[in-house]
Structure 1
Amino acid sequence: MPLLWILRVSFTDRLTAYKIPPEIGTVGLMNYVEIFARYPFTGWFLNSLIIALGATAIALPLATALAYAFARFNTGGTFLRLGVLASQMLPPIILVLPLFGMFLFAGLMQSHVGLIIAHLTISLPFLSWMLVSFFEGDVARLEEAARVDGATRWQAFRYIAVPVAAPGILAAGLLGFILSWNEFLFALVLSGPNSQTLPVGLAALETHAGVEIAPLAAATVVSLVPVFALLPFLRKHLIKGLSLGALK
């Protein structure tokens, strides 16, 4: 119902959008035209896409390697595992000021690279903890069989562990992309005019004259397009991946 409500509002004029009970009013694409003509919406969209893809592309292989090390070698023991999990309990506001100081010193403020690094602090621990279960159980036994047949540790990881855990890795990648795509606080503090993302741009539609609800609804619908475009292709892998770690 919330999605249907937003979709309805996105096609109505400004006056009709505020009416209770709701009315259809004038139906058209005027709100979609406005967000591209009046606001730098294309720039916001591209910035979000670049940052989300960049953060996911870096976090996913690192998280895969870290999860494999946890599952196979118990690297760092329980202490390191709990440390990775505990990092997810920190409110992002605690990390913003240290990141702001480091990025200001390193010249990464208001840049895509800076935001990608900031998003890694969220996605990397989450993805690595999520992927640990995919490298345990049957995958370990298959690797042992491959090692007996003469495969090296790297060959067993590349040709056995990663293909078998592929559904889980794809599911983790999708969730990592969504985490980065929706992130607001880091983007609000660390971005600039040339690196502003969609969540920050959508917040800018709340003006001193009130919330421009009709353009905001249109912008929200467009911002949901990448996620909904990915789901049909990855739905099977997402469901299988999220349930794989629970199966014995």
Structure 2
Amino acid sequence: MAPGSSRGLRLLASALLMAFSLAFLLPLLWTLRSALLPEGLAYALPPVFGPLTLENFRQVLLGPLGRGFLNSLLVASWVVLLGLPLAAGLGYALARYRFGGHPLRFAVLATQMLPPIVLALPLFALLRALGLSGSLKAMVLAHLAFALPFMAWLLMGFFQGFPRELEEAALVDGATPWQAFLRVTLPLLLPVLWVLLILQVVAEARTYDLVYVLTRGGPGTATDLVSFYIYRQAFLGLDLSGASAMGYLLLLGTLALTALYYRGLTRT
């Protein structure tokens, strides 16, 4: 390759990297600016960059945002606890016994291609008929419907990589297939359980459409998830500074969970 062509490729790569960095960092920096400005100055034109204050973060921490975080964590925890046994059974059957063959595997994967809003209205009608609308139970069941296929697909990959020799050794020692699964295979799912919990918490933190269609955070704020709470603060309450502070606290919480998992993963 000619020296001029090589230099041109390097310049192009540098320009693309800079453009990607700006596209990723500028919204974060602009949101941080809004979070550090007093309420009302975030909308100022031309833009201002002072005076800076931590008052928005203080009000968020002392306000009802904690209810949204708690609701998101509760929904994610129940989705994982209820979905894990079902997903483990399906993933084990798909991996060990080729249950359903390739059509069932494709069907499980294809469910992840559906936007949640496609099934939101049928779910709303079903939950209303069951008398569960306007409750955290409705959010758990709705999110479980979308999380279960993903969990089953993830666990299927785990079971495919799990050595059969361990189960066969348990069978030789007199265990039944069910006992081998419960006493040998299932305890090794604990790291995967932690991964699923983190992924589900992140999913709850960014899910907005299901909450909007099913409950709109009501009654009151009983079913507020953190993403919907930020929406209400920014677009209904017109408090851009407070919503930006909430967004940054959510980002820090997600990074803390990821760092905690990574630390545990690197220790094993």
> What's the TM-score bracket when you normalise by the shorter of the two chains?
0.7 to 0.9
Report the Cα offset of residue 36 of structure 1.
5.8
Aligned-pair CA distance for 1:239: 7.8
In the TM superposition, what is the alpha-carbon distance from 1:216 to its structure 2 partner? 1.1
Question: What does residue 88 of structure 2 align with?
Answer: 64
The question of 1:26 aligning with 2:51 is answered yes
Please say which of residues 231-240 and 115-124 is displaced more in the overlay: 231-240
How well do the aligned residues superpose, as a CA RMSD in angstroms? 2.9
Within 1, Cα distance between the matches of 2:196 and 2:55?
37
Give a deviation string over 1:52-88, Cα, whole Å, max 9, x none: 2222222223222221121122223322222211211
Residue 27 of structure 1 aligns to a residue whose secondary structure is coil
User: What residue in structure 1 maps to residue 254 of structure 2?
Assistant: 227
Extract unaligned runs of 5+ from structure 2: 1-24
Alignment of 1:65-84 (within 5 A): 65-84=89-108
Matched, 1:156 2:180: yes
Q: Which moved more, 1:70-79 or 1:6-15?
A: 6-15
Q: 1:128 deviation in Å? A: 0.8
Alignment partner of 1:6 is 2:34: no
1:136 deviates by: 1.5
Equivalence for 1:197: 225
- Alignment match, 1:214: 241
Alpha-carbon separation, structure 1, partners of 2:194 and 2:177: 23
CA contact (8 A) 1:135 1:165 kept: no
Q: Give per-residue Cα distances to partners, 1:205-243, cap 9 Å, x unaligned.
A: 23478x5321111111222344233223211566899xx
Q: Distance in 2 between matches of 1:237 and 1:152?
A: 33
Displacement, 1:113? 0.3
Checking the alignment, whether the CA contact within 8 Å between 1:66 and 1:128 is kept in structure 2 is yes
Sequence identity (%) = 36
Measure, in 2, the Cα distance between the counterparts of 1:146 and 1:76.
27
Does the CA contact (< 8 Å) of 1:146 and 1:156 recur in 2? Answer: yes
- Give the letter for the 1:132 counterpart: M
Q: What is aligned with 1:174? A: 198
Determine helix, strand or coil for the equivalent of 1:110. coil
Aligned with 1:206: secondary structure?
helix
TM-score for both structures, normalised by structure 1:
0.82
Structure 1: gaps spanning 5 or more residues: 242-248
Give, in whole Å, the separation in 2 of the partners of 1:136 and 1:97: 36
| Number of residue equivalences | 239
Q: 1:206 to 1:27 in 2, by over 3 A?
A: closer
Distance change in 2, residues 1:4/1:144 (3 Å) = farther
What's the TM-score, normalizing by structure 2? 0.77
